[in-house]
Structure 1
Amino acid sequence: MLTLLIEDRRHGTDELAEVRVPLKAADGGHFWADAKQVCAALQGGPSRIDGPAKVLTMRGKYRQTFLRISAEGEETNQSANLKVNADRTLPIIVESLDP
């Protein structure tokens, strides 16, 4: 079980979603999750993110965008390693696609 801590900056709201995805243990106590599997689990549940939006997580000082949702609802994502905290949480940020 992976807990997503969702900060939706479009609306100023916070939400929590629990999804079932495989986690791969890594050195240092954290885990890795595949972005494509996280997107499928999140978007297939009641906490799905409606667009337009881009969804990202932070890896250190770097922004890692792993999902884009167009105004028409088209989702774009691909496999990528998302670093999951040792407590099996993944903080994610939802932003508007508008500049």
Structure 2
Amino acid sequence: MVAPSEEHLDGTMLKGIRETLQMLKNYYHQRVTFYMCHKGIVTKLNGMTTFNNFWGSVARDIYTLIMDFVHFQCTFIEFIDKTPLNYLRGAQNRREPLLAE
């Protein structure tokens, strides 16, 4: 998910989940399990509890989409390999000229 750098991580994650669920629904998948290292979002999504902040409308979209699946589960995991993310961060910070002058 590409998002503005000033956007809060929770919002970016929720928007990514919403987009993924919509895509899976479009391809007629019926069983979904997300593995995440954000315990708060995992707990809220599994319990379908409200998000009392700016991201409540995105969460409501997610809860509506969840109803279209036979199985939905979020699983908390302690570790996710962040090597690809670190690579992207490094590429994002590098400012190299496109053509040699």
TM-score normalised by length of structure 1: 0.28
Task: Kindly indicate which of the two structures has a greater share of residues assigned to strand.
Answer: 1
TM-score by length of 2: 0.28
The structure that has the greater radius of gyration is 2
Structure having the higher helix fraction is: 2
